[in-house]
Amino acid sequence: MTSNMPDPPLDPPPPAAGGGKSVPVFVTNAVRTSDGPGPGVKHVPPAEASALVAAKLAVHGEQPPRGWPG
């Protein structure tokens, strides 16, 4: 009996663009990142940095946003 499901890929996906370099972000909440829990400056992979900024949990760079109470 055959399945309609495709075979899983044999090779792992290629690494994300950016060469694995970390990006500094300032995490404004007690959110867990691959560099540890926030708040504060964390150095994370580019994809994770983008997701944190998009979710408004971090800002790019090593400085807190204006008006941040920290």
Whether 20 shows a pLDDT value over 70: the answer reads: no
CA distance 44 to 61: 11
Q: Is 34 a residue whose pLDDT tops 50?
A: yes
Q: What is the pLDDT of residue 12?
A: 44
Confidence of residue 1 (pLDDT cuts 50, 70, 90): low
- Integer-rounded Cα radius of gyration of the chain: 17
Burial of residue 53, with CB atoms counted within 10 A of its CB: 0-12 exposed, 13-18 middle, 19 or more buried:
middle
pLDDT at 70 > cutoff 70: no
Q: What is the pLDDT of residues 38-65, one digit of tens each?
A: 899 999 999 999 999 999 999 999 998 8
Predicted pLDDT at 38: 87
- Listed by start position, the domains of the chain span 23-57
